Amino acid sequence: MKKHNFYAGPSIMPQYTNEKVIEAIRDFEGTGLSIMEVSHRSKEFVAVMDSAVAHVKELLEVPAGYSVIFIGGGASLQFAMVPMNMLEKKAAYINTGEWAGKALKEAKIFGEVVEVASSKDRNFNYIPKNYVVPSDADYFHMTTNNTIFGTEWKKDPDIAIPVVADMSSDIFSRPIDVSKYAIIYGGAQKNLAPAGVTFVIIKDSVLGKVTRPIPTMLNYKTHIEKESMFNTPPVLPVFAALKTLEWLKHKGGVGAMHKINLEKAALLYDEIERSKLFKATVPDHEDRSIMNVCFVMADSYTELEKEFAAFAKSKGMIGIEGHRSVGGFRASLYNAMPLESVRALVDCMKEFANKY
């Protein structure tokens, strides 16, 4: 039976990436060595790193004056690195979910943090509107897609102060205007590569403005100056990232991928709206994530949750259970998720509904 991987991360990878990684594990670039044992200083791997950076810049149309680095630690380390490098007096954060809240908590270690808005009052099922960002804040932090609760910003912000965005789960899924941001970061294990590498896109001019001493490894300038090679980078995930970026370019780039992602999300949301058994957890269509579709059993059918979960699994639907903190269901529709898998899930939902 074909398996359809809806896990939220680590998540589905393009088959192209998987195959190229397997080849490189056996023999990387004709070196006779595995990608897992080659020196990160070798000309073959330096070319991989350089190409990965170039692909990010090309696919996102990164303007001049920005650097792209690949480092370890996941987005969770960035929760501390951002304020360590950026927060001098105070920062502004918007709290739209679990990861946004964790980022805010870390920032408080380094200085004053203003929570400009929060959607916690309704279990994070909407994106706050009409909030005011202090003009004297050093930066404004946002989490563009909220994997646990299924909300997503669909437009770039228009804010006067530097904007920092955690785009772990929707990077490369839609066009963005990088010039609207001071820093964009994210863990790779959603839309880019296996866990183990973190991408950071940084506007060079925003650095060097804090007075605190910054440990060498936690200073963005270190990694920019050493071109992501200050210490041994996560070689295998960087290689996988390059292959995913190549695949994305071959597919037509971010704009083409966005069109497909909208189609996938619409297909699933339409079935949720049509069905009497299911309901979306995010009521406002404008706030609904196209990456993580979250839904529950309708009020009259809540007792069927475990039965549907088992039924879906029997049909090859893997990883659709909601996050342990919220329950229900979550179908992650990242770039590598084929349309046929979304159709298979919709057919599964229809078949289950016909029993009732």
Annotated active-site residue 190? The verdict is: yes
State residue 356's pLDDT score. Answer: 83
Q: 138, 153, 166, 170: which is the annotated catalytic residue?
A: 166
For the purposes of burial, counting CB atoms within 10 Å of the CB of 250, is it exposed (0-12), middle (13-18) or buried (19 or more)? exposed
The structural domains of the chain, with segments of one domain joined by +, span 4-12+252-354, 15-250
Residue among 71, 76, 99, 81 nearest 241 (CA): 71
Residue among 96, 7, 9 nearest 330 (CA): 7
Mind listing the pLDDT tens digit for each residue in 259-282?
999 999 999 999 999 999 999 999
State residue 89's pLDDT score. Answer: 97
Q: Of how many residues is the chain composed?
A: 356
Query: What are 240's two structure tokens?
Result: 């996988």
Please tell us whether the domain made up of 15-250 is placed in CATH 3.40.640.10.
yes
Low-confidence ranges of the chain (pLDDT < 70): none
Could you give the angle at the alpha carbon of 210 between the alpha carbons of 93 and 86, nearest 5°? 25
State residue 326's pLDDT score. Answer: 82
Q: 20, 138, 170, 190: which is the annotated catalytic residue?
A: 190
The letter for the amino acid at 97 is G
CA–CA gap between residue 217 and residue 306 (Å, rounded): 46
CATH fourth-level superfamily of 4-12+252-354:
Aspartate Aminotransferase, domain 1 (3.90.1150.10)
| Topology alike, domains 4-12+252-354 and 15-250 | no
Torsion of CA 311, 317, 320, 321, to 10 degrees: 40
